[in-house]
A and B are shown apart, each in its own frame.
Chain A
Amino acid sequence: NAGVTQTPKFQVLKTGQSMTLQCAQDMNHEYMSWYRQDPGMGLRLIHYSVGAGITDQGEVPNGYNVSRSTTEDFPLRLLSAAPSQTSVYFCASSYEGFYTEAFFGQGTRLTVV
């Protein structure tokens, strides 16, 4: 049972490049979400999904897109990377949304130069 798996673990991008952070879970959770973690700011919600085909914006959605074509996968796309998007990104899944325990992936450290 792998839980929540994120790839890659580390990534360096040049300003303006695009990329997709992958997230997969094998717990059959309906809810999935993406957070970014910056020093001194805790975790901030970027986008979330309550099930396949349904996504919504969180606190800091600008510059990011998501889609949810299957229950298992929830990729996060950076359309045109900016230095302000340098951060550690965590994907999470939960059984009953934000009202139950979130299981986090191991994180992706992204640097935009």
Chain B
Amino acid sequence: AQKITQTQPGMFVQEKEAVTLDCTYDTSDPSYGLFWYKQPSSGEMIFLIYQGSYDQQNATEGRYSLNFQKARKSANLVISASQLGDSAMYFCAMRPFNNTNAGKSTFGDGTTLTVKP
């Protein structure tokens, strides 16, 4: 069984500053993928970034980067140069590689990020 823990129910950040959203996970699977999704107030879940457990380098996608520390089982999302439009709920999710159902992932409880002007 897998478990995702997001310990920050809510976070605040000043516009243009960087923010880190925490995610730790627990799994007995040797290989897995980690995902971050953004959910604005409109409700739709938007895929942001992916990290594979065997990837040597931390993933980056524009202003998003993933601080992956495999030994600590953490996959924190870093948003640089925050914008007002980044205000949303963020979910960390995990799926073992042997699970071919891409949507059948384990999700954390989410972190609500508020960007202050």
Same complex for A and B? Answer no
